[in-house]
Amino acid sequence: MKPSLFIPLLLFVACKGNSGRENPLADLDKSSEAVMEEFLCLDSIDAFGVNDFAVTDSVLWFLFQRPGSEDVLAQYRLGDNSCKSVIKRGRGPGEMITTTSLDANGHIVIADCNTNAMASVVRNDATFRQLPSGGLVSCITDGNRVISTGLYPEGRYRLINLESGQVGYFGEYPQGERKIGDELLPTAYINSKLAMKPDCSRFVCVNSNCGIIEINAIAGDSIRSIARIAYHYPDIVGTRSGKMAVAAIRKSNVNGFFDVTCSDEYIYTIYSGKTYNEAGLGLESCDHLVTFDWSGNLIEAFHVSQALGAIQYDNSQGLLYGLAHTPTRSLIYRLNLDR
């Protein structure tokens, strides 16, 4: 089954019930306020339906996941306010449909979840490379190795060496006191996102269906766990989609980290803490930004006055940005966490 079909399934084939778990991050409302400076109104440049972005110097990259949008990836230059389509939506050569989030570590990378084609954008041109088959959902690369999450029963992460073609699986899926069956684990953690430390020595993984952050080291063609901090696990019920057993997220589930980005010093996440029963589809709007160090220690949490759907750290400038959608417009903010 294609990964793109799982996300609505996890949200809407949900069962009533109470997970019985209290969210340890529930006191985040007492957090300091992050300073938000309006950076760019996307509506003013006709960039509608942006769900992920990256900022590198004076260039912005927009990812469009809305089915009706003509573009998948576009480039916007602040210097001359010019916008260029880089990857079109479609099934033809050089086109994509459902993609991973943007990986902006070094250069822009995305992959098609259905075809397993990975596109690397250097300057203005996209170069495509076919990855091994498998349920790809998120991926990051240092240029030689590709690390991904997906529907992998063999392990939590897949590592591909692009030069040798070697493929390996590493790590175990998180388990709480309420054990999740092995056949359900890959779908229980399907909504994962990755970010690589700029020096490419470590990476972090978060998941929107739970409050778990995983930090791993990369050594050669292997992955080693550094830390796993589990604030709360996904509250799921097993169901079936055709012949396949899948995990459906309960409407009472406390949702977690919806995006992650990083510098060499810190990990930045946005956290929901909402249930479907409380917020409906608004559960993906995150009112809190939580920072960690690379050992997994929680450094500080911040409240944001405008709920965020995505964040991106620009290592070239040392600046943090956030994407917010309001009922009337969509904006990119520059975030200041200094008090």
Q: What is the CATH number of the domain that holds 192?
A: 2.120.10.30
| Whole-number pLDDT of residue 26 | 67
Domain of residue 129, residue span: 3-336
Greater model confidence, 317 or 322: 322
Residues ≥6 apart with Cβ < 8 Å to 80: none
Residue 239 pLDDT class (50, 70, 90 cuts): confident
Question: Does the pLDDT value for residue 322 go beyond 60?
Answer: yes
Q: What is the pLDDT of residues 167-176, one digit of tens each?
A: 999 999 999 9
Q: What is the mean pLDDT of the chain?
A: 88
* Strand, helix or coil for residue 143: coil
> What global pTM score does this model have?
0.90
| Whole-number pLDDT of residue 9 | 43
The DSSP bridge partners found for residue 236 are: 249
Cα–Cα distance for residue pair 228/212, rounded to 1 Å = 7
Q: What is the pLDDT of residues 176-223, one digit of tens each?
A: 989 999 999 999 999 999 999 999 999 999 999 999 999 999 999 999
Domain count, the chain: 1
Q: What is the pLDDT of residues 78-128, one digit of tens each?
A: 988 899 999 999 999 889 998 999 998 878 999 999 899 999 998 778 999
Mean pLDDT of 293-310: 95
The DSSP bridge partners found for residue 334 are: 37, 321
Q: Is the alpha carbon torsion for 333, 308, 297, 202 positive or negative?
A: negative
Q: What is the pLDDT of residues 35-77, one digit of tens each?
A: 999 999 999 998 898 999 999 888 999 999 877 788 999 999 9
Cα–Cα distance for residue pair 9/314, rounded to 1 Å = 33
Query: For the chain, what percent of residues have pLDDT higher than 70?
Result: 92
Cα–Cα distance for residue pair 261/259, rounded to 1 Å = 7
